[in-house]
Amino acid sequence: MRGISPLIATVLLIGITVAVAGLVGTWIFAFSRTSTGSVEEKANLEILCNKGGISFSDVCYSSNYLTGYVTNTGTIVLGNVTLQILYANATQQTYYLSYGSGVVTSSTSCCGNLTMLANEKYQFNVSSDSNYNRIYVYTNCTGKVTDELTSGDVLTAC
């Protein structure tokens, strides 16, 4: 039996190597383009969120309701404003705030639509047990633009 000639074997080996290198190169190029776009998007959001701010004011508890104001203290528009109440027994309740017909409403199911322009102030009113421990407000700049109150910061008479 005769084998293939050394010249043909070398050409085949080089051809297979070039084909594999082309496939790997295409995959790396696509992967790096996707990763770069994702990192760029997150970096832009982080830079923008540095201009954000939100704060609680005049928060009080009465008749199983927490009432108060949230104010956009930054210079950017904030969205998805959400309140979270942590209780002493380690449970929590999340309220998604929405705005419609001139009133802020809250829902314990998904996705409020409250958007706040710079310096806007909205009143909230959510049900709560008296054993609340902390109250948080979050925005679409999660982790960057938040505020927190402890039970000692809340007035007991509205």
**Cα 69 → chain centroid:** 21
Considering the domain architecture, whether residues 38 and 60 belong to the same structural domain is answered as: no
Q: What is the pLDDT of residues 33-75, one digit of tens each?
A: 777 767 677 777 677 788 889 999 999 999 899 999 999 999 9
SS3 31: helix
pTM recorded for the entire structure: 0.69
Asked if residue 102 and residue 59 are part of one domain, the reply reads yes
Decide if pLDDT at 87 tops 90.
Answer: yes
31 and 63 share one domain: no
Do 40 and 72 have their domain in common? no
Alpha-carbon dihedral angle through residues 41, 73, 79, 148, given to the nearest 10 degrees = 100
Side-chain-side CA neighbours of 98 within 13 Å: the count stands at 11
| Cβ atoms of residues 108 and 95 within 8 Å | yes
Asked if 148 and 121 sit in the same domain, the reply is yes
CA 142, CA 157: separation in Å to the nearest integer? Answer: 31
Residue 158 lies in a domain: no
Report the CATH number that the domain containing residue 68 is assigned in CATH.
Answer: 2.60.40
pLDDT at 39 (0 to 100) = 67
Give the separation between CA 47 and CA 43, rounded to whole angstroms: 6
Q: Which domain holds residue 35?
A: 1-49
Same domain, yes or no: 85 and 132? yes
Write the pLDDT tens digit of every residue in 100-141: 888 888 888 878 788 899 999 999 999 998 899 999 998 988
Query: Which pLDDT band, with edges at 50, 70 and 90, does 32 fall under?
Result: confident
For the chain, how many structural domains are there in total? 2
Region 9-13 average pLDDT: 86
CA distance 126 to 63: 11
My answer on whether 98 and 120 are in the same domain is yes
List the structure tokens of 47: 């830079």
